[in-house]
Amino acid sequence: MRRTKACSGDESAEGSDRDDEAQRGHGDAADARRVRQVALVAGAFRRADERHHVPDEQRPAEGQQQPDDEVVTEEDRLCKHPRSVPRPEDDRALPLRETVVMGFHHVALATRDTAATHKFYTEVMGFELVKVNVAPNPGEHGGWSKHFFYDTNGQGGSADNGMIAFWEIHDTEIGDTFPVDINTSAGLPWWVNHIAFDAPTYADLERHRERWRSHGHTVLEIDHDFCVSIYIRDPSNNMVEFCHTTRPFSADELSQASEKVLHPSPEFDRHGAKVTVHEPLTGAAVS
């Protein structure tokens, strides 16, 4: 995708300074079924944000944006999300984070394929393996498990900034056919339960996106107004996301959040998510 016009003011200088250092290599690739599903979910997001009416669905208020208003171009994204997002001069807004620290120590999931999981989270996600625990399982029936941890923030093996961990389970009582897709096992579509990792800058988000594409993945990018996210799925079919926060929450948003969270039928948001599908890079490994 090429830019066709320049941004105005300082945004032009920042937007034109593209980071072309995308990591290359062969890794696990998205298959044709996943490519089709990315296209389907992109269409689903567009339909939802264009407020298409279905039975029992709340209709939009008059004056909301029309589908033609939701088209996003490369230059639009560069102008809106330069490398360094200026903080608005608005004392009502919460400041952006100065230091990214996750609110949990780690998230742990089961895997039935350690090799594929390790390859994906080191090569495709760019995380660092920092710890492996091997120990007997709880209970009297025996068995053992391998519990392995990845640093998600590139802090040189620090456990203080949030990790993701996986279980390789060897247990006759548990067996080896347990579900590892956290949505399928819950009877939900694949986009519901997912894990989102922070991208402190838009340049970080771009690097992750291009690395994913270099590994043969079709990447779904969605501008949610207050943040921009990219999505793919791991070898267990669980959706992973990198998300870049583009601005602080306003006082109005904070107030509306309290009103909406328990409201039985709140109004739809006025803004619409902007969806872009990025195809794998030419020459990337695709299986």
Domain spans of the chain? Answer: 106-170
| φ, ψ at 141 (rounded to 5°) | -85, -5
Is 61 a residue whose pLDDT tops 80? Answer: no
pTM: 0.69
Beta-sheet pairing, 219-223 with 227-233: antiparallel
For residue 230, what is the DSSP state?
Answer: E
Is 95 a residue whose pLDDT tops 60? Answer: no
Q: Could you report the per-residue pLDDT of 231-252, keeping only the tens digit for each?
A: 999 999 999 999 999 999 999 9
51/74 Cα distance (integer angstroms): 24
Average pLDDT over residues 156-180: 88
Residue 261 confidence (pLDDT): 96
Is 197 a residue whose pLDDT tops 90? Answer: yes
Mean pLDDT of the chain: 76
Q: Any long-range contacts for 159-163 (C-beta under 8 Å, 24+ apart)?
A: 159/105, 159/106, 159/130, 159/131, 160/101, 161/100, 161/101, 161/102, 162/101, 162/102, 162/103, 162/104, 162/105, 162/106, 163/105, 163/106, 163/107, 163/130
Is 186 a residue whose pLDDT tops 90? Answer: yes
Residue 71 confidence (pLDDT): 42
Beta-sheet pairing, 194-198 with 239-245: parallel
Which is higher by pLDDT, 104 or 195?
195
Within 10 A of 51 (CB to CB), how many other CB atoms are there?
A: 17
Lowest mean pLDDT among 37-46, 167-176, 244-253: 37-46
Residue 36 confidence (pLDDT): 56
- What CATH superfamily classification does 106-170 receive? 2,3-Dihydroxybiphenyl 1,2-Dioxygenase, domain 1 (3.10.180.10)
